[in-house]
Amino acid sequence: MKTTPPPAERGFTLVELLVVIAIIAILAGLLLPGLSAAKQRAKRVNELNAARQLMLAWQLYADDNADHVLLGYSGKTAAYDDQGAPLGSPIRDRYPWRLAPALGNNFRVIYVNDSGRFLEQARRLSQPEYVYRASLFPSLGYNTVFLGGDEQVFNPELAARTYGEDWLVRRTAEIRQPGRLLAFASARSRTGDQDPEPGYFAVNPPCLVGRRWAPAFDEAAPPDTWGYVHPRWNGRAMAAFTDGHAASMTTGELQDMRHWANPADRPDWSLRPLETR
54 falls within a domain: yes
Q: Express each pLDDT in 233-264 by its tens digit.
A: 999 999 999 999 999 999 999 999 999 999 99
3 falls within a domain: no
5 falls within a domain: no
91 falls within a domain: yes
Position 137 scores a pLDDT of 93
Position 8 scores a pLDDT of 53
Flag residues of the chain having pLDDT under 70: 1-12, 16, 28, 31-36, 191-195
**DSSP state string for 224-242:** GGGTTB--TTTSEEEEEET
Position 36 scores a pLDDT of 66
Q: Name residue 153's amino acid.
A: V
120 falls within a domain: yes
47 falls within a domain: yes
Position 192 scores a pLDDT of 58
Position 24 scores a pLDDT of 78
41 falls within a domain: yes
Position 116 scores a pLDDT of 86
Position 277 scores a pLDDT of 74
Contact 254, 233 (CB under 8 A): no
Distance CA 14, CA 19 (A): 9
Position 41 scores a pLDDT of 85
Q: Which domain holds residue 272?
A: 16-276
Position 40 scores a pLDDT of 79
Among candidates 74, 113, 68, which has minimal Cα distance to 97? 74
Q: Express each pLDDT in 113-136 by its tens digit.
A: 988 888 888 888 899 999 999 999
Q: What is the pTM of this model?
A: 0.86
104 falls within a domain: yes
Q: How many domains does the chain have?
A: 1
Position 47 scores a pLDDT of 96
| Main-chain dihedrals φ then ψ at residue 123, nearest 5 degrees | -60, -35
Count of other CB atoms within 10 angstroms of residue 229:
27
Distance CA 247, CA 236 (A): 10
